[in-house]
Amino acid sequence: MKLWDKGFSTDKKIDQFTVGNDRELDLVLAKYDVIASKAHAKMLGKMGLLTDPETEALVTELDTIAKTIEKGSFTIEDSFEDMHSKIEFLLTEKLGDTGKKIHTARSRNDQVLVAMHLYLKDELSTIKSQTKELFDLLLNLAEKHKEVLLPGYTHLQIAMPSSFGLWFSAYAETLIADLYFIEAAYKAADQNPLGSAAGYGSSFPIDRSFTTREMDFKTLKYNVVAAQMGRGKVEKGAAFGMASIAATLSKLAMDICLYMSQNFDFVSFPNELTTGSSIMPHKKNPDVFELVRAKCNKIQAVPNQLSLVINNLPSGYHRDLQLVKEITVPALQDLKACLEILTFSLKEIRVNTSILEDPKYDYLFSVDTLNELVQVGMPFRDAYKKMGQEIESGNFKPKRDISHTHEGSLGNLCLKEIRAKMDKIL
């Protein structure tokens, strides 16, 4: 069944190429098509385009379909083009002519639009919640290990003292910046495009404000052409938010892979969170974190993928936009999986509490030792030269009893302030 069926068939090759993997993706989105169809049916009833019994029958049957989707028993067979055609078929099969009336004053275009907007709102909310869970864990780890010093590196050279408190809370605060992008994407999705039809509105006297309230959208996407032009653009906004979080997770995963190496030996994990080698019995590989790194690097490419699909399209609908779903939906699923597995794994992280006992880290304290000379009156440049000469001659004696007190330093992590910043977003 096709919603645009005019009584003739399309070549099978054309069908296969144009439908693509829409049926599989629509199993994820079908729930939202039902939500929008219910709101649309109620609006048609309110405007007198359906009778009260017809409205009630459609809403009841849509609720039945929603239950099959929730149970996982809803299917889209090859004889149907997408979720829209399957749902309309089920309504017509059950309700006869009343089922055929559900498509009054709408198009498959605004059906897809509103389903994607509702889906993105749900998914972005879930990502915000998962990000907050990881954030809380990182801050707790920062508090727990705030006294444990860690080498800081620049250019992958030993630089200055850091701490696990700084390291964990650095990633926590970075997630806050990532959520700014997610919040912006949510606002873009929180606009109701239903009623824009094929992109030019409808001659039926519909009430778009009613469906906006019914589906709990913050506002209406008023201009019908702007609503259609939002397809791909809203997803791209969400992709920038996802890419921002993914960049943070990828960097964290890379740090973990590096720090688990025997050459560093800063952190470790229980055996059950690592994998082995087929020929090297000593190996404990960080496969989970390597896959997080790779998946998150793929997610960072999603905004560019979407740009290349929607770039330079004129206004109005084009079939190119179908491909937006197959880029966006898997990326959202991957990001949620990465957030979940990182939170699960980091709960078991073990930190090395005696890293800086190794004399190769003595030079970490050169700046603190230099600063002590400055504090007793030596000009900075003279202190710098003196320290350089001592290091070069092998006479450097590090000052290990360091004191960093300014906001955000290893002695003053400002965890309370960072948490308050997160709370303000949520």
Q: Who contacts 310 (Cβ-Cβ below 8 Å, separation ≥6)?
A: 231, 232, 233, 236, 320, 321, 324
Check which CATH number belongs to the domain holding 73 and give it: 1.10.275.10
Q: Is residue 1 part of a domain?
A: no
Of the candidates 274, 254, 272, the residue with the CA atom closest to the CA atom of residue 264: 254
**Whether residues 232 and 365 fall in one domain:** no
Q: What is the pLDDT of residue 20?
A: 58
**Whether residues 21 and 33 fall in one domain:** yes
Interhelix angle 233-260/323-346, nearest 10 degrees: 30
Q: Is residue 3 part of a domain?
A: no
Q: What is the pLDDT of residue 286?
A: 84
pLDDT digit string (tens) for 84-117? 999 999 999 999 999 999 999 999 999 999 999 9
**Whether residues 98 and 145 fall in one domain:** no
Task: Mark the ranges of the chain whose per-residue pLDDT is less than 50.
Answer: 4, 6, 8, 10-11, 18
**Whether residues 243 and 174 fall in one domain:** yes
User: What is the Cα–Cα distance from 149 to 145, expressed in whole angstroms?
Assistant: 9
Q: Is 42 helix (H, G, I), strand (E, B) or coil?
A: helix
Q: Is 190 helix (H, G, I), strand (E, B) or coil?
A: coil
User: What is the Cα–Cα distance from 41 to 49, expressed in whole angstroms?
Assistant: 9
Q: Is residue 4 part of a domain?
A: no
Of the candidates 3, 91, 89, 72, the residue with the CA atom closest to the CA atom of residue 31: 72
Residue ending a domain, among 104, 122, 139, is: 104
**Whether residues 256 and 334 fall in one domain:** yes
Beta bridge partners of 285: 275
Residue pair 229/200 in contact (Cβ under 8 Å)? The answer is: no
* 3-state helix, strand and coil shares in percent for the chain, rounded to the nearest 5: 65, 5, 30
Residue ending a domain, among 85, 104, 123, is: 104
In angstroms, the Cα distances linking 296 to 96, 186, 204, 333, 337 are 48, 20, 46, 11, 10
Q: Token pair for residue 42? A: 């109620």
**Whether residues 138 and 231 fall in one domain:** yes
User: What is the Cα–Cα distance from 232 to 234, expressed in whole angstroms?
Assistant: 6
Q: Domain of 344?
A: 109-153+162-204+222-356
**Whether residues 87 and 197 fall in one domain:** no
Q: Is 419 helix (H, G, I), strand (E, B) or coil?
A: helix
Q: Is residue 210 part of a domain?
A: no
Q: Who contacts 85 (Cβ-Cβ below 8 Å, separation ≥6)?
A: 1, 2, 3
Four-residue CA torsion sign, 289, 291, 294, 295: negative
What single DSSP character describes residue 402?
Answer: -
Q: Is residue 5 part of a domain?
A: no
Q: What is the pLDDT of residue 280?
A: 62
**Whether residues 125 and 167 fall in one domain:** yes
Check which CATH number belongs to the domain holding 255 and give it: 1.20.200.10
Q: Token pair for residue 43? A: 């609006």
In the chain, the number of structural domains is: 3
Q: Is residue 214 part of a domain?
A: no
Q: Is residue 121 part of a domain?
A: yes
**Whether residues 98 and 128 fall in one domain:** no
**Whether residues 140 and 282 fall in one domain:** yes
Residue ending a domain, among 356, 376, 398, is: 356
Q: Is 150 helix (H, G, I), strand (E, B) or coil?
A: strand
Q: Is residue 209 part of a domain?
A: no
Question: Quick count: other Cβ atoms within 10 Å of Cβ 360?
Answer: 9
User: What is the Cα–Cα distance from 337 to 26, expressed in whole angstroms?
Assistant: 20
User: Is residue 415 left, alpha or beta, with left meaning phi > 0 and alpha meaning psi from -120 to 50?
Assistant: alpha
**Whether residues 349 and 361 fall in one domain:** no
pLDDT digit string (tens) for 397-413? 888 888 888 999 999 99
User: What is the Cα–Cα distance from 68 to 81, expressed in whole angstroms?
Assistant: 19
**Whether residues 99 and 130 fall in one domain:** no
In angstroms, the Cα distances linking 341 to 192, 247, 296, 374 are 33, 16, 12, 47
Long-range contacts, stretch 55-62, CB < 8 angstroms, 24+ apart: 57/95, 57/98, 58/91, 58/95, 58/98, 58/99, 58/101, 58/102, 61/90, 61/91, 61/94, 61/95, 61/99, 62/34, 62/37, 62/38, 62/87, 62/91
In angstroms, the Cα distances linking 318 to 80, 90, 404 are 21, 28, 59
